[in-house]
Homo-oligomer: A and B are copies of this chain.
């Protein structure tokens, strides 16, 4: 699969795909003759993983570390597990922060709904 196809499929710019590879957030992609990247299914799996994790807020650095561990072989299973678990815990904390902010937004929005009807804003600020 060419980079333009992958770019379309995952809605990531070609620059971003090259960037992820350059810094090691995905393993190196094989090249077709001519030097153009030729993405395999496995490459696509990595890209999807990175996209998923990045959209949740994981740092690219954490992804780079993970790829490094994978490339170091099976001795790194425990280290990989720990890395993923740390990230999971961060996401749990993030979830809670978002939950709290949403609750607050909900309250404020309800105050504004009231204020728009009555012209008076209560309990706000």
Contacts and interface: CB of A to CB of B under 8 A. Distances in A.
Interface string A75-107: 001101100110110011011011111101110
Contacts of A98: 56-57, 91, 94-95, 98
Contacts of A78: 112, 116
DSSP class of A's interface residues: helix, strand, loop or mixed?
A: helix
A74 B42 contact: no
A72 interface: no
B53 A116 contact: no
Interface residues of A, number: 42
A56 B97 CA distance: 5
Q: Which of A53, A77, A104 has the most CB of B within 10 A?
A: A77
Nearest to A125: B45
Nearest 5 interchain pairs by C-beta: A56-B101, A81-B112, A55-B97, A88-B105, A56-B98
14 contacts: A52-B97, A56-B100, A56-B102, A57-B57, A70-B125, A74-B119, A81-B113, A84-B105, A84-B109, A91-B98, A92-B102, A95-B98, A95-B99, A95-B102
